[in-house]
């Protein structure tokens, strides 16, 4: 048994898993407050990463300005998507809502391919990339940055939902829209805000991943990989999203380890989360932390 | 949300028999038969391009019909239909190549094999529904796609599988002109099958499960069985469509059956109209013709110099995908009941002119 490889993969899994956790959090945020399953979450990452890349490479701006511009753009973008496409879908059957986000995902994915091309592009050197040696393991600095990013984002979310006015309004809306609205919370504002925040944070995650691996249309696949994570954690639990993300990240790398050491099937890395997904759905459909739907006639 | 059939005001049915007719009026029956008869002469008149389009419409249309039984009639969601379509294509080629089963028998057998696989992956549907089911079928899509790439004994792995042409009584239907008849027969047969299914006890049970599953269960309809059955039937249709596709092209490769294809099938039934047999066919025609129309429009624009030649034609592949995405969105917002509904409104308009209704 190759202990060193196992350790390396575990660390990788933890870092990737935390990133999945951040994206899962964004996904859950939208689902919880607006009851929309966002199949276009991966495109938020993709668009954010490409727009930031565009400001850095095409416009030649320094990183922090480009980054802020991207955040501003994504906020507007999220609000716009919600107001134009999702608002007419309130009260429509679930298949319509799913299909409209799939339509959006298809549209933006090919738009990005058209504008920026299909080949992967690497980010200009923003931070010094070097390899740090921690306890005998070689870890890229970028990975540590992404780890810090994930933790900061999670802490930010925690603070936001526990202590900020908008966060409390969001939780109230998620709990009961009519009661929230009668207490003076503007539900449409909450909807817009949750899309904006989700788009913004996803875009940041996209930029972080882009810095490590380069930007390409493969980024949008992460939006699909988040599904096992959110289902494992429970669709409407933010904590669940984080836990699910970490577990899926770890399991994915464990599958890679087993595959490379013993089975030699190849490709188990990408497919293992979906097997896990099917198993969870048959055993425990509402996940670890999700609330069980109780239907009343 | 979706009514089984919308009739204009004043059009009453007085008996169950009248309500259960395949064709609503005599005129429609004769017109349908006449147009099928006319289509039989199409290979002599039309050139290969249109025949190819028709064949494409028929094998995709059969699969879309199946998906409409699942989504439109039973109210389940499947994001894995493209994978089932592919499974049918591989299964038919595999049965033919490995066991020497003649193609005309391999196609329905492939349909049944796909049905078994569909029911296997549809089995979580007994416990979950709506969104969770959508995600479960998404997983099925990726798992089956991975299986295609891996199982060399079944699909030929990365090389793909060769499929023999359709042969009957020693005559090989290997040209566009001859395969046209196979496609036409299959389309008419499967459309009839779907229509008849919806007139039967099982079909009405599907609709009951969709409209109010608790009431359906109280009335003695076994929810688990009918949800599973509808998965099976839909996969059967997908398998037949896929098998036809394989034997038409003569070669099946593992790359084509992606999530994108599943989304296209969903787009077909949404654009055509959920819960309508006619709608599935209309939607398929729309989705097949959309890229063609787009391409010729861009070619025309490039010729007249409206757009510079390079930019649009280079991005054609992306433009097509974007158009499909956009069309899904626009239909969902502006015409959620699809083309079938629009068609009925046009008919009602002519029927009742000059009165509104």
DSSP B74-115: T----S-HHHHHHHHHHHHHHHHHHH---HHHHHHHHHHHHH
Q: Where are the alpha helices (DSSP H) in B223-276?
A: 223-249, 259-272
The contacts of residue A14 (CB under 8 Å, 6+ apart) are A147, A246, A249, A250
**Are A102 and B266 contacting, i.e. CB atoms less than 8 angstroms apart?**
yes
**Are B275 and B4 contacting, i.e. CB atoms less than 8 angstroms apart?**
yes
Q: Give dist(CA A68, CA B93) in Å, integer.
A: 55
Average pLDDT over residues B309-331: 82
The contacts of residue B199 (CB under 8 Å, 6+ apart) are B20, B22
- The model's pLDDT over A165-184, given as tens digits with 9 standing for 90+, comes to 888 888 888 888 888 889 98
DSSP B251: E
Phi, psi dihedrals of residue B251, rounded to the nearest 5°: -155, 135
The contacts of residue A218 (CB under 8 Å, 6+ apart) are A120
Q: Do B138 and A224 make contact, defined as CB atoms within 8 angstroms?
A: yes
Our CA-based measurement puts residue A297 at a distance from the nearest CA of chain B, in whole angstroms, of 8
Average pLDDT over residues B44-69: 89
Mean of all residue pLDDT scores within chain A: 85
Check residue B287 and give its pLDDT.
92
Give me the interface pTM, i.e. the ipTM.
0.86
Q: Where are the alpha helices (DSSP H) in B100-175?
A: 103-122, 130-150, 152-155
* pLDDT over threshold 60, residue B309: no
Largest CA distance in chain B: 66
Write the Ramachandran bin of B160: left for phi over 0, alpha for psi from -120 to 50, otherwise beta. left
Residue B71: which of A95, A267, A270 has the nearest Cβ?
A95
DSSP A82: I
Three-class SS state of B171: strand
Q: Do A281 and B124 make contact, defined as CB atoms within 8 angstroms?
A: yes
Average pLDDT over residues A117-143: 71
* pLDDT over threshold 80, residue A195: yes
User: Which percentage of chain B shows pLDDT scores above 70?
Assistant: 94
Lowest mean pLDDT: which of A62-71, B160-169, B299-308? B299-308
Phi, psi dihedrals of residue A37, rounded to the nearest 5°: -90, 115
Q: Give dist(CA B146, CA B160) in Å, integer.
A: 13
Query: Of B7, B328, B5, B30, which is closest to residue B198 (Cα–Cα)?
Result: B5
Query: Of B208, B241, B244, B252, which is closest to residue B227 (Cα–Cα)?
Result: B208
Residues of chain B with C-beta less than 8 angstroms from the C-beta of A277 = 135-136, 139
User: Measured in whole angstroms, how far is the alpha carbon of residue B36 from the centre of its chain?
Assistant: 19
Task: Write out the two tokens for B133.
Answer: 């089911």
* pLDDT over threshold 50, residue B2: no
Q: Do B150 and A265 make contact, defined as CB atoms within 8 angstroms?
A: yes
Q: What torsion do the CA atoms of A45, A50, A56, A60 make, to the nearest 10 degrees?
A: -160
Domain ranges of chain B: 40-261
Whether A291 contacts chain B with CB within 8 A: no
Whether B336 contacts chain A with CB within 8 A: yes
């Amino acid at each position: 048994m190759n202990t060193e490889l196992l350790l390396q993969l575990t660390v990788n899994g933890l870092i990737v898993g935390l990133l999945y956790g951040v994206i899962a959090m964004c996904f859950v945020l939208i689902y919880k407050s607006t009851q929309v399953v966002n199949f276009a979450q991966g495109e938020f990452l993709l668009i954010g990463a490409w727009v930031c890349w565009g400001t850095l490479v095409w416009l030649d701006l320094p990183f922090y300005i480009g980054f802020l511009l991207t955040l501003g753009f994504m906020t507007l973008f999220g609000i716009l998507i919600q107001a134009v496409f999702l608002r007419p879908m309130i009260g429509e059957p679930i298949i319509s809502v799913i299909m409209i986000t799939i339509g959006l995902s298809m549209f933006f994915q090919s738009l990005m391919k058209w504008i920026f091309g299909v080949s992967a592009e690497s980010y200009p050197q923003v931070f010094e990339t070097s390899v740090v040696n921690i306890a005998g393991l070689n870890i890229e600095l970028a990975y540590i940055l992404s780890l810090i990013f994930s933790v900061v984002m999670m802490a930010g979310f925690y603070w936001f939902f526990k202590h900020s006015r908008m966060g409390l309004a969001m939780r109230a809306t998620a709990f009961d829209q009519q009661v929230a609205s009668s207490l003076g919370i503007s539900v449409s504002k909450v909807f817009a805000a949750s899309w904006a925040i989700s788009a913004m944070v996803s875009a940041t995650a996209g930029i972080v991943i882009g810095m490590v691996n380069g930007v390409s249309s493969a980024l949008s696949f992460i939006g699909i990989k988040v599904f096992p994570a959110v289902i494992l954690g429970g669709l409407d639990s933010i904590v669940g999203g984080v836990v699910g993300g970490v577990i899926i990240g770890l399991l994915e790398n464990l599958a890679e380890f087993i595959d490379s050491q013993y089975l030699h099937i190849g490709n188990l890395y990408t497919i293992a989360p979906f097997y896990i997904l099917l198993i969870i759905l048959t055993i425990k459909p509402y996940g670890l932390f999700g609330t069980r739907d109780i239907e009343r006639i | 949300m979706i009514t089984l059939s919308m009739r204009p005001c004043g059009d009453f049915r007085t008996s169950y028999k009248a309500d259960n007719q395949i064709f609503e009026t005599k005129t429609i029956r004769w017109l349908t038969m006449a147009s099928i008869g006319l289509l039989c002469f199409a290979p002599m008149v039309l050139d290969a391009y249109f025949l190819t389009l028709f064949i494409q419409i028929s094998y995709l249309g059969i699969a879309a019909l199946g998906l409409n039984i699942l989504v439109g009639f039973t109210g389940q969601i499947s994001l894995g239909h493209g994978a089932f379509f592919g499974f049918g294509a591989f299964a038919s080629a595999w049965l033919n190549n490995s066991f020497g089963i003649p193609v005309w028998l391999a196609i329905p057998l492939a349909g049944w094999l796909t049905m078994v696989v569909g029911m296997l992956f549809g089995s979580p549907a007994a416990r979950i529904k709506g969104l969770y089911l959508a995600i479960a079928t998404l997983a099925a899509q990726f798992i089956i796609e991975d299986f295609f790439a891996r199982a060399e004994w079944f699909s030929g792995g990365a090389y793909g599988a060769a499929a023999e042409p359709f042969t009957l009584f020693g005559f090989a239907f290997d040209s566009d002109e001859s395969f046209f008849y196979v496609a036409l027969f299959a389309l008419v047969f499967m459309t009839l099958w779907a229509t008849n299914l919806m007139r039967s006890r099982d079909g009405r049970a599907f609709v009951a499960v969709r409209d109010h599953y608790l009431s359906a269960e109280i009335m003695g309809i076994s929810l688990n069985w009918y949800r599973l059955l509808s998965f099976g039937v839909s996969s059967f249709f997908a398998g037949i469509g896929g098998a036809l596709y394989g034997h038409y092209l003569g070669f099946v490769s593992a790359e084509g059956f992606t999530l994108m294809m599943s989304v296209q099938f969903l787009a077909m039934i949404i654009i055509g109209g959920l819960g309508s047999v006619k709608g599935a066919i209309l939607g398929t025609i729309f989705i097949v013709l959309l890229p063609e129309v787009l391409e010729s429009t861009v070619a025309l624009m490039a010729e007249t110099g409206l757009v510079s030649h390079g930019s649009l034609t280079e991005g054609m592949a992306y433009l097509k995908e974007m158009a499909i995405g956009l069309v899904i969105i626009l239909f969902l917002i502006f015409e959620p009941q699809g083309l079938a509904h629009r068609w009925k409104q046009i008919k009602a308009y002519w029927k009742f002119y000059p009165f509104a209704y």
